[in-house]
Chain A
Amino acid sequence: MAQRKALNVNGRTVTVTVDDLDMPLLYVLRDNLALHGPRFGCGLGQCGACTVHIDGRAVRSCVTSLSQVAEQQKIVTLEGLGSPQRPHPVQKAFIEMQAAQCGYCINGMIMESAALLTVNKKPTDAEIRKALANNLCRCGTHVRIVAAVRRAAASA
């Protein structure tokens, strides 16, 4: 049964038509809105590749159903955080530190770190690691990722 649902994504109100409000937010963002930032990794909330911000908090969009998101809540994806021309400080630091290999997990790393820095402006390395403990990277980019978050914190 087709239903319409209004969402606030990256500062714009959009209306999507879906068959099922139980559908995870991830598929709306990727399939209906053609966003590339949030990534499908596990669909189980285990890896963090799908992370977006909802009202500034890092949320796993693969296990957040559309029905759980209210119209006025502000959803921000990696695209909404910044652009190659005007990157967010965390994105800028990741680029400067070359903190990626395949880069598939990095959406989650940046979104999680950006959310951390809004509540803890000068985290210790241990706090950064703890904040990212549920974000998986298979390429082994961890050392650079921590260094990039540290750099972003220092630049703010």
Chain B
Amino acid sequence: MNSIPSRRDLLKGGGALVVGFPLIPGRTLAQRAAATKPVAPTEVDSFLAIDARGEVTLYSGKVDIGTGLATAFRQVVAEELDVAFPKIGLVQGDTALTPDQGKTWGSLSIQVAGIQIRNAAATARAALLDEAAKRLDVKRENLKVADGVISSGAKRITYAQVIGGKNFSLKLDSAKPATPKDFKDHTVVGKSVPRVDIPDKMTGRFTYMQDFRLSGMLHGRVVRPPAIGAALETVDESSINDVAGVVKVVREGNFLGVVAESEWAAIKAAQRLKCTWSKWEGLPEQARLYEHVRATKVEKDEVTSNVGDTASAMAVDGVRKIAATYDFAIQTHGSIGPSCAVAMFKDGQLTSWSASQSTHDLRKQLAEMFTLPLEQVRCIYLEGSGCYGRNGHEDAASDAALLAKAVGKPVRVQWSRADEHGWDPKGPPTLVDLHASMDTNGTVTGWESEFLIPQQTAGSFMVPLTAATLAGLPAKPDIAPGNIFNNASIPYKFANIKTVCRRLEATPFRPSWIRSPGRMQNTYANECFMDELAAAANADPIEFRMKYLDPSDKRGLEVLTRLKTLAKWETRPSPQPPGGSVAKGRGMSYVKYELVRTYVAAVADVEIDSSSGLIHVTRIAMTHDCGQIINPDGVRNQIEGNILQAISRTLIEELKFDRSMVTSLDWASYPILTFLDIPEIEVDLINHPEAPPWGAGEPATAVIPSAISNAVFDATGVRLRSIPYTPDKVKAALRGGA
């Protein structure tokens, strides 16, 4: 049985957080203890506490969603404070205790939150040294720190003696941050420190969200409509009279759920409960999805780059015009563990435990849903199954809260596999039209692209909570696919460029972000089209790209140069001469993520069996520069995961649906990559310890679809333009294009 300490327990001195004797004179222990732990990102105390034993606790608003962040953040703190790594504890994603550092998304945790944490630790260290210098009566510059012990010659004082149990009461100045350690002095950052969570996970000792239990807790299950927009008509509660342990059938609007004493009773009751729903067929016909996308009203055009005059460039007599349209399927997050949450209403206070990547935002949404003041909602993160974006965790939290309120006891909701596949928000379909002009020398004179993608509600990224929507409770009607305009712009310096995101009024399924949202789809279209232009110019694909990169962008050029070596790249144009019945080819792709950060380049080697239409990726070679690397093995692990997940999304994954509902409701109808199709992976990690650290959780994903597509072209001379590259599509393309 787990228990989460209340804020009051923590304030009383239990655990790592001890709030007491403030450095500010005149405030007593009692006054301080009655206050709350600061969570504003402008305070050192929001991030760090050092207790009387010298143990450090880091409070992080960003959470480890299986990426190794819990280890990397500890490394940053251990490094900056000079405290041994095992002495660093972590509290993450608790709205009562941790600062709001934004959602754990966008490959930003190290890049943004890591820097905030480093700044907090550097500020704390500076204050500790100032105080130590006074107490030891020595010059500050003569002080050394080793594992939390500050010394100068024989004089010594520990962090615990200086601060133990007290608040720092220090502001963080983001405009003028404390000077962090010189990277040359790093001994913990930059090392492959083993992940803190792995031993427990490998031996069944780890408590995932799905393992969390409260005493007196009941089990809930939801009964979702058979059609997305169906209305609940009748419920026959007597149909589950024979299920022992049922506590309540909860019906509110179109929300239907059951609560039972045991998990199995809840499952059986949800399966057997007889109910009728209205008919609803509001989804487009899947076979004509992209016609539907093209016919959707454009809410606004966002020009993401505009250089020169493309219209004039395209109108020049004698230029060669090249055009292509690429599409990318609707996909689901596919967490191996379906979403799960526990909620408790007590004394007017809602406490929600979930694997939300965004507890501070979930708190706002739950407060809105139940019309509660924000202060009366606390959301606590517990790690769940990997989510790769906004999956169903928050929705399960809304289900659990609704059921807990209805029965007046804590309720745990575990989604079924069909709930997860059917009801988690989806990555929207993407359709991209590209045009280019090329002069007789093979020089690109113009590049135009239009991305047909759903709009994003301005300034708000709240994916509506399913339970609120179904029950008719207050919820913002946001459309929140994420910042999917990113990577629409290109890194290549053509004379004339115009890239436009045509933001559509709606998209068939409730959208959200899935790993490398928009960046993956946009990079796919751009880098495949770039390959088309290279082929049209009869140029080597890497040389062709390097020709158009900004010559001052040395790091971009370096990933490409090193890729040639790593992949043993043969300089020549694509396609290569035809081979036997199994065609082999290589393709490459490049991205400078969002044009401002992590550089990635990759080569895919593929084999295509023309009789079966199967594409087998045999090797991925990748060069990757994410600036300063905190934990090299952690970065490699992320890169490997990006590559394999992206191969799966490129070759296999497509959400299926009829006019009413998702029909991909399990792993048979939504297959993903298996062990039988795993390529060899070679990664060249380029470390820049002198530079800022950038994200590694997403960027490697962005280059994989285009690298594979370009390899298929290299092998066959046939261009695939519709993701996923299923055997049927491959065979049809080979028949049509050979």
Contact = CB atoms under 8 A, between A and B. Distances in A.
> Which has the most chain B C-beta neighbours within 10 Å: A2, A37, A40, A144?
A40
A82 B335 contact: no
A42 to B, nearest CB: 4
A140 B201 contact: no
Interface residues of B, number: 62
Contacts of B65: 102
Contact of A27 (B264, B384, B673, B675): B264
Q: Which residue among A42, A49, A94 has the maximum number of chain B CB atoms within 10 Å of its CB?
A: A42
B67 interface: yes
Contacts of B132: none
A93 to B, nearest CB: 9
Contacts of B66: 100-104, 139
Interface in B375-392: 383-386, 388
Interface stretch (B22-30, B133-141, B505-513, B637-645): B637-645
A58 to B, nearest CB: 14
A101 B200 CA distance: 13
B440 interface: no
Nearest to A78: B204
A95 B205 CA distance: 13
A110 B197 CA distance: 16
Nearest to B197: A103
A36 B672 contact: no
A87 B373 CA distance: 48
B202 A143 contact: no
Interface string A112-156: 000000000000000011101111111111111110000000000
B584 to A, nearest CB: 20
A78 B643 CA distance: 28
A95 to B, nearest CB: 5
Interface string B243-273: 0110000000000000000111100100000
Interface stretch (B72-80, B207-215, B225-233, B425-433): B207-215
A11 interface: no
A36 B262 CA distance: 17
B195 interface: yes
Contacts of B202: 78, 84, 87, 91, 94-95, 100, 103, 106, 110
Contacts, number: 185
Given A35-B204, A49-B336, A132-B675, A144 B199 contact: no
Contact of A20 (B264, B640, B674, B681): B264
A6 interface: no
Contacts of A42: 417, 666-667
Interface string B183-210: 0000000000011011111111111101
Contacts of B672: 136, 138
Contacts of B676: 129-130, 133
B337 interface: yes
Given A36-B206, A36-B207, A31 B263 contact: yes
A47 B678 contact: no
A56 interface: no
Contact of A84 (B199, B384, B678): B199
A83 B205 contact: yes
Nearest to B642: A140
A129 to B, nearest CB: 4
A105 B66 CA distance: 12
Contacts of B262: 19, 27, 31
A67 to B, nearest CB: 13
A140 B414 contact: no
B695 interface: no
A60 interface: no
A44 interface: yes
B208 A104 contact: yes
B334 interface: yes
Contacts of A35: 204
A28 to B, nearest CB: 9
Nearest to B68: A101
Contacts of B295: none
B637 to A, nearest CB: 6
Contact of B674 (A31, A136, A144): A136
B244 A1 contact: yes
A46 interface: yes
B684 interface: no
Contact of A95 (B199, B210, B335): B199
Given A78-B204, A139-B641, A102 B667 contact: no
B668 interface: yes
A46 to B, nearest CB: 4
Interface in B625-658: 633, 637-638, 640-645, 648
Contact of A143 (B244, B335, B642, B644): B644
A42 B420 CA distance: 10
Contacts of B637: 98, 101, 141, 144
A141 B201 contact: no
B264 to A, nearest CB: 4
Residue of B204, B244, B640, B641 with most partner-chain A CB within 10 A: B204
8 contacts: A40-B414, A84-B199, A101-B638, A101-B641, A139-B386, A140-B645, A143-B644, A144-B637
Interface of A: 1-2, 18-20, 23-24, 27, 30-31, 34-37, 39-44, 46-47, 49, 77-79, 81-84, 87, 91, 94-95, 98, 100-107, 110, 128-130, 132-146
A-B CB proximity, top 6 nearest: A102-B66, A37-B204, A140-B644, A102-B386, A140-B641, A103-B201
Given A27-B263, A129-B678, 10 more contacts: A19-B265, A40-B338, A87-B203, A91-B202, A98-B194, A100-B66, A100-B195, A101-B68, A105-B336, A140-B644
